[in-house]
């Protein structure tokens, strides 16, 4: 019999259908946009004594590997990052005598690697200031990540608030105080910020740091309730004592409005990164800018957003459509996306009638 060919549709066997070959032509399906893993933390080291060399990036997944590279006494930061929940630590090295140009060069090397959180340890006094400037410049150039900052030795509320001003940004987390380990070891705010960076990276996108228990004995500085409120109002990440258990009071960034929450900023970061990767890998130069091609891209984005909605990261009333003002012609495609980010319950108000 002759080969039967059709365009699109599905294969169905009709009553009385003849045996033979049936062929259908369909437009190649656009690749699905997946929800990527987000557990990589990056940092910069200027002090090391192992096999590591200057201006080199190392990707570390175990403490043993870190000890070999940097020496046993120089790995507490990486231990803290891994303890917090990071799946990988991306480390760039710089010379201990580095000046601003050297540190900038090391950060620029690090920029070419994938990571989701950067923690700036103040081994060198000028590094945190350089790092926040670099973070903003990276974002302007399309690379999004959260920065975790602190200043060791800053203890009073006013001093902490003043120190945090330099780092105001929605992608910036400022750790207000340090903790003590069960054996009494003091873990300063800058070292504790490494643990916080690991927690930020290791927490699921539908999770929150608010009221999260941390595995330490107590906080170094115990703030009064009014002081905690004051620090939270400025967007600082404060660890408090809940009875005998230290907890992160609220998962905040130094941003404003809905983007003052780590959860929301990470969700936005995930959307940008995942859609960007899919566009670069599968769409650019591969899909014709025709009505069919445009619909294929829009449907792929809708499917991805459905994944986020199912995971309780965004509300399921999202919208994806062609821009109705700017025409999508030639090589340019304009799509408008509307989403509502979901948050965790943090405030419960009871009205009791008696």
Check: CB of residue 213 under 8 Å from CB of residue 247.
yes
Check: CB of residue 334 under 8 Å from CB of residue 326.
yes
What per-residue confidence (pLDDT) applies to 273?
Answer: 87
Is the pLDDT score of 39 beyond 50? yes
226-245 mean pLDDT: 95
Residue that the structure tokens 């400037």 belong to: 133
Higher-confidence residue of 259 and 117: namely 117
How far apart (Å, rounded) are the C-alpha atoms in residues 202 and 208?
Answer: 11
Residues 6+ apart with CB under 8 A from 266: 38, 116, 146, 200, 203, 205
Is the pLDDT score of 32 beyond 90? no
Average pLDDT, the chain: 88
Q: How would you classify residue 2: left for phi > 0, otherwise alpha for psi between -120 and 50, otherwise beta?
A: beta
**Banded model confidence at residue 280, pLDDT cuts 50, 70, 90:** confident
Is the pLDDT score of 261 beyond 90? yes
Check: CB of residue 219 under 8 Å from CB of residue 155.
no
Is the pLDDT score of 96 beyond 90? no
Q: Name the least confident of 124-133, 197-206, 314-323.
A: 124-133
Residue that the structure tokens 């690749």 belong to: 31
**Banded model confidence at residue 127, pLDDT cuts 50, 70, 90:** confident
The two structure tokens encoding residue 17: 């259908």
Is the pLDDT score of 323 beyond 70? yes
pLDDT for 61-71, tens place per residue?
Answer: 999 999 999 99
Check: CB of residue 141 under 8 Å from CB of residue 177.
no
Is the pLDDT score of 295 beyond 50? yes
Is the pLDDT score of 15 beyond 60? no
Is the pLDDT score of 236 beyond 50? yes
How far apart (Å, rounded) are the C-alpha atoms in residues 73 and 181?
Answer: 17
pLDDT for 42-93, tens place per residue?
Answer: 999 998 888 999 999 999 999 999 999 999 999 999 999 999 999 999 999 9
pTM, two decimal places: 0.87
How far apart (Å, rounded) are the C-alpha atoms in residues 132 and 125?
Answer: 13
Check: CB of residue 42 under 8 Å from CB of residue 110.
yes
Is the pLDDT score of 98 beyond 90? no
Domain boundaries, the chain: 40-262
How far apart (Å, rounded) are the C-alpha atoms in residues 44 and 138?
Answer: 16
Burial of 230 (C-beta count, 10 Å sphere; 0-12/13-18/19+): middle
Q: What is the number of alpha carbons within 13 Å of residue 211 lying toward its C-beta? A: 6
What per-residue confidence (pLDDT) applies to 23?
Answer: 61
124-150 mean pLDDT: 90
What per-residue confidence (pLDDT) applies to 7?
Answer: 46
Which helix (DSSP H) or strand (DSSP E) does residue 218 occupy? strand 218-219
Is the pLDDT score of 249 beyond 90? yes
Q: Which residues pair with 247 in a beta bridge?
A: 213, 240
**Banded model confidence at residue 26, pLDDT cuts 50, 70, 90:** very low
**Banded model confidence at residue 126, pLDDT cuts 50, 70, 90:** confident
Q: How would you classify residue 211: left for phi > 0, otherwise alpha for psi between -120 and 50, otherwise beta?
A: left
Q: Name the least confident of 15-24, 109-118, 161-170, 252-261.
A: 15-24
Residue that the structure tokens 């500085």 belong to: 221
Q: Reduced to 3 states, what is the DSSP secondary structure of residue 93?
A: strand
**Banded model confidence at residue 2, pLDDT cuts 50, 70, 90:** very low
The two structure tokens encoding residue 184: 């009494």
The two structure tokens encoding residue 172: 């910036």
The domain defined by 40-262 folds into Rossmann fold (3.40.50)
Higher-confidence residue of 233 and 10: namely 233
**Banded model confidence at residue 29, pLDDT cuts 50, 70, 90:** very low
């Amino acid at each position: 019999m002759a080969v039967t060919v059709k365009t699109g549709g599905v294969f169905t066997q009709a009553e009385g259908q003849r045996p033979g070959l049936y062929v259908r032509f369909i437009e190649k399906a656009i690749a699905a946009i997946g929800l990527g893993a987000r557990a990589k933390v990056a940092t910069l080291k200027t002090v090391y004594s192992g096999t590591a060399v200057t201006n080199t990036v190392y990707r570390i997944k175990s403490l043993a590997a870190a000890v070999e590279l940097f020496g046993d006494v120089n790995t507490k930061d990486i231990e803290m990052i891994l303890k917090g929940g990071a799946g990988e630590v991306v480390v760039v090295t710089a010379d201990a005598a580095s000046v601003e140009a050297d540190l900038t060069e090391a950060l620029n090397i690090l920029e070419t690697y994938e990571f989701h959180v950067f923690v700036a340890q103040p081994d060198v006094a000028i590094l945190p200031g350089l790092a926040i400037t670099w973070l903003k410049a990276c974002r302007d150039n399309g690379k999004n990540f959260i920065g975790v900052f602190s200043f060791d030795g800053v203890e009073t509320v006013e001093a902490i608030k003043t120190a945090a001003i330099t780092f105001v940004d929605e992608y910036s987390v400022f750790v207000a105080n340090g903790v003590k380990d069960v054996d009494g070891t003091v873990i300063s705010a800058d070292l504790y910020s490494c643990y916080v960076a690991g927690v930020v990276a290791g927490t699921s996108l539908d999770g929150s740091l608010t009221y999260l228990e941390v595995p330490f004995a107590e906080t170094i500085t115990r703030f009064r309730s009014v002081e905690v409120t004051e620090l939270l109002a400025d967007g600082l990440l404060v660890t408090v004592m809940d009875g005998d258990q230290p907890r992160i009071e609220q998962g905040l960034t130094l941003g404003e409005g809905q983007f003052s929450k780590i959860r929301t900023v990470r969700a936005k970061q995930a959307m940008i990164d995942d859609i960007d990767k899919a566009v670069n890998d599968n769409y650019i130069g591969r899909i014709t800018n025709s009505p069919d091609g445009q619909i294929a891209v829009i449907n792929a984005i809708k499917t991805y957003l459905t994944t986020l909605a199912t995971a309780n990261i965004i509300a399921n009333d999202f919208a994806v459509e062609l821009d109705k003002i700017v025409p999508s012609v030639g090589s340019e495609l304009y799509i408008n996306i509307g989403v509502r980010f979901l948050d965790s319950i943090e405030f419960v108000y009871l009205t009791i009638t008696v």
